[in-house]
Amino acid sequence: MVYFITGGASSGKSLYAEGLFGGFGSTRIYLATMENIGAPEQKIVDKHRHQREHLGFTTIEISRDIGSSEIPGGADVLVEDLSNLVANEFFGGGDISRVVSGLQAVAQKADNTVIVGNEIFSGGFLYDEETRAYLALMGRISCEIAAFSDRVITMKAGLPWVFK
């Protein structure tokens, strides 16, 4: 089963995603996509590590080419998060085409895959050309992921809105 969970900043996406794992198996993999390059990123990393401290996850830090990650067959996988993965490939000069194919490869290996994304499309409209290109790419990739997902959920104020 593939779950795609989106929502705004601090909307409860991560807690909801982690909560799904209560009904899953015992091999839990957390694919962390954030490039930890400073204090703000470290604060987010620490928060998420604390949240999942007792949930039995094995963390794999992979900021690009997610399809190359070592996922044991039958594992349950949490990918946190899509916007970081896309930004790492897009702004870091990587191969953007491997985002969707990489997530599909992870989902094929896993029993359950939970992909956490971000609602980044309502924060404003005065962006430079590169940021507009990133937002357009995020929109396209989000649609592709929603298409192959079994469940699509948006979090609003800590509440899940199930669309699919």
29-72 pLDDT per residue, tens: 999 898 877 787 788 777 777 777 788 888 888 999 999 999 99
pLDDT at 123: 66
pLDDT at 122: 67
pLDDT at 163: 92
Instruction: Please state the rounded mean pLDDT for residues 137-141.
Output: 94
Distance CA 157, CA 134 (A): 26
Please confirm whether the linkage preceding 46 is cis (ω < 30° from 0): no
95-135 pLDDT per residue, tens: 899 999 999 999 999 999 999 998 877 666 788 899 889 99
Of 55, 97, 95, the C-alpha closest to 78 is 55
Q: Per the confidence metrics, is the pTM higher than 0.75? A: yes
Q: Which residue has the higher pLDDT, 152 or 118?
A: 152
Cβ within 8 Å of residue 141, ≥6 positions away: 82, 86, 99, 100
Report whether 84 contacts 37 (CB < 8 A): no
What domains are defined for the chain? 2-162 (3.40.50.300)
Cβ within 8 Å of residue 50, ≥6 positions away: none
Distance CA 139, CA 65 (A): 19
Instruction: Please state the rounded mean pLDDT for residues 127-153.
Output: 94
pLDDT at 113: 97
